[in-house]
Amino acid sequence: MPTDCETNRHPSIAAGRLAVVKRLLIVALLLAGCGGAAGDSTDGGVLGESDVPAATPFATKFHPTEPPDVVFDLPVKLTKRTASVARNTRASVTIKTTKGAECGIDVQYPSGSSTAAALGPKIASSKGAITWKWLVGRNASKGKVPIVITCTLGDQSGRLDTSFKVK
């Protein structure tokens, strides 16, 4: 180890030793992160096929073993909607689904889901049509407003995502 005098007289030697120590620390940290030190291998320190992990989480595809919680097998199609609306005016959405399906609508303003009475659940007509009409509040925030419509009929369910703009 250099003394203080050697370090002061030969700063390049001290800097060189410091660089070597830094490199050794980096190598030690890398080896520790990999789960061992050099020479851990059973074949004399040479990395072989058995020393390399078979797969990483990034190299494999996700294959779920269980089906998803909800399968959307009931058709729900958008047939008409208000694309853009001023505050304090009416907006509407019309969908087509299967006759007798019960559908709900969630109009998701930035302040929260709408509680307008006109946005309650409805049953699809004999032609499968449902229309919701509601008043957009005079204090509604400007911008895109997501709408989520979900329908059920027996053990089937369907979903439609759309939006409108408050200007």
Name the 3-class secondary structure at 114.
Answer: coil
H helix intervals, the chain:
4-9, 11-33
Q: How many domains does the chain have?
A: 2
Please state which of the ranges 1-5, 88-92, 107-111 shows the lowest mean pLDDT.
1-5
More confident residue, 79 or 17: 79
CA distance 155 to 124: 16
| Predicted local distance difference test score (pLDDT) of residue 157 | 93
Same domain as 92, residue 42 = no
- CATH number (domain holding residue 136): 2.60.40.3880
Most confident of the ranges 19-23, 42-46, 82-86: 82-86
Domain range for 24 is 4-51
* Average pLDDT across the chain, whole number: 77
Same domain as 162, residue 83 = yes
Same domain as 108, residue 43 = no
Same domain as 107, residue 38 = no
β 143-153/156-166 pair status: antiparallel
The model's pLDDT over 90-106, given as tens digits with 9 standing for 90+, comes to: 999 999 999 999 999 99
| Alpha carbon separation from 71 to 33, 74, 77, 152, 155 (Å, rounded) | 42, 9, 16, 11, 10
